[in-house]
Amino acid sequence: MQVIAGTAKGKKILLPHNVTGVRPMTSRVKASLFDILTPHLMDAVVLDLFAGTGQLGIEALSRGARHCTFIELDKKVISVTRKNIQSTNMESQSTVVQQNVLTFLNRSTDQAYDLILISPPQYKGLVLSTMEALDGLYQRTKTTIVAIQQSSKEANPSNLSHLELTDIRNYGSTNLLFYRTTAT
């Protein structure tokens, strides 16, 4: 696995060993995701929830994002996240937080993000609970794009007041969902 494009193109992304629940996004899906997001990346402030290896946030930084905050709970995984950030020379543009995503969202409502990337472990209801938290807590005065990777077997978040579903793309057993909150 490696960075696909930008300043860190070709740099290897390390994977954690002996850790269950970490499933990096395939290169095909990641390429499609960032083809869609490219117009929104330049100078963007990004939040990578359930960061895992950090590959999504690193890809965003490589393609022109200004800063990325990586949120990951697992101690073994977050050490790999930090190594990947270091090996791609993205330390000055990165903040790494070891914390539960919902706890982070409940405590960090003062920061506005241009792009939020969500790629949680599958089949645990984490997309729904995260989107409900974002919808209730993350009301901002600027437009924010939320991009989600989830299994095509999982229910799409709906009945959200402040986040509108704008696009769904299917790649076999994986769906990419795009939501947008507009300035109020």
- Give the pLDDT confidence score for residue 31 in this predicted structure: 92
CA angle 14, 10, 178 (to 5 degrees): 80
Q: Domains (ranges, CATH) in the chain?
A: 27-181 (3.40.50.150)
Specify the range with the lowest mean pLDDT, choosing from 12-21, 62-71, 80-89, 113-122.
12-21
Evaluate if pTM is beyond 0.75. Answer: yes
pLDDT exceeds cutoff 60 at 96: yes
Strand partners, 144: 181
SS3 147: strand
**pLDDT tens digits, one per residue of 53-94:** 999 999 999 999 999 999 999 999 999 999 999 999 999 999
**DSSP state, 93?**
G
pLDDT exceeds cutoff 90 at 39: yes
